[in-house]
A and B are shown apart, each in its own frame.
Chain A
Amino acid sequence: MIRVIRRYDFSAAHVLARPDWSPERNRNVYGKCANPAGHGHNYRIEIAIEGELDPKTGRMLPEGQLDEAVRRRVLRELDGRFLNRDVPAFAATVPTAENIARHIWDTVAPDVSPARLVGVRLIETRNNSVEYAGDEELA
Chain B
Amino acid sequence: MYKILAKFIKKDRMKFISHLELINIIERALRRANIPLKFSQGFNPHPKISFAAPLAVGVSSEGEYLTVEVIEKIEIDNFKERLNKELPKGIKFIKCKYIDSKSKSLMSLVEDATYIIKCITQDSYNINEVDEILKKFLNNEEILYKKVGKRKGEKIINIRNNIRNMMVLSVIENEVIFKVTVATGSKGNLKPEIIIEKLMDLEGISIDLEKLRVHRLEIFSSMGNKNLVPIDRII
Q: Do A and B bind each other?
A: no
Q: Which residues of B contact A (CB under 8 A)?
A: none
Q: Which residues of A contact B (CB under 8 A)?
A: none
